[in-house]
Structure 1
């Protein structure tokens, strides 16, 4: 990776035209050929950039440019679209190359798999005294994240028909951020699971770190309970307590 801090002006031509007036900026030329133009602001987002596949070529400035103080011109051209990023460099304040090696990639903490694993270990958050039947409980339309046995779900036989004092099982769908789609997904699981006499009646719990207001409303309308998960607390870090609504 090459890092250059320079006083420069930048022009993008192609599907759209854009111009960055003369200023001091950071130019990042990566090993994949891409070029990113950063200012000392705007967080991580570059002011302009060219994504691979592209090539960078250094050019001598024209006579008019040289007389205006341009020392070097970079032209970065996209191989497929022909779009071009042209950088006029007036002064170089820093220029360095760094071999970063092979990056192992981002390892995320708190993804849905982590939430599912922790909740499987702490099913009492779903219902007091509940026990885990299985993670990734299979159905014909896909696996339910958690199938939990409800201690209050006692089946009573009456005149060859089955009545219950509560749901025997709880189907739990785990999300980081739950929207209406999550409610619809759990609804489909519940419709299918409640056809199985060995499982029915099955109630649903949508467990997530955050739940959209529309999803909360729809879940309530369909008799699905909502469980807010505090990931830090579940990991043993001092925080709030998950609450079942």
Structure 2
């Protein structure tokens, strides 16, 4: 844990720590769209996954602007440059730093699945062909250094497939699977590992992010997996 005196420029912190900086700053985003935030006091958040986000004192959890990983951050006195793999740049110009604070959060166990989500995972483990012909189950709850992957499968060609199962698929679930894939693809016994994001419903924003990261989305029918047939007689 570290608190920098007010006015000191940002410095490199712990690799796995979350970093919170309160500073008067302006922000410019240059990419497919350009955006500018004029000088104001804001909260800058640098997370262990490499993401950088800028927050105001409103809008609940939603940042004013952000850069998702993978990206690289370069720090110089008074300026942060955050660049993603597409070459888009988030430039943060620091006029005055009031607090610069880092804290090691450690490994997060992740969300505890509710009854439906846990049962959905169990059913998909029994029916790995849901993800494609020839898919077979290797293990449920495959443990990584940052938590368990719901399902580890092999496809028809014998390649590894990591599946994250959610009842409702949102951006947080895609981020979670991205971190798992980053670690698993470093293991020569598993790599290359394909990611699959499976849910009863997948939000459009989550689908866009997953597709951008090469993760396949699969919408699953919970009732069908349970062997329940929908009523054939309907009013209309």
TM-score by length of 2: 0.48
Q: Which has the higher contact order (CA 8 A, sep 6+)?
A: 2
TM-score by length of 1: 0.47
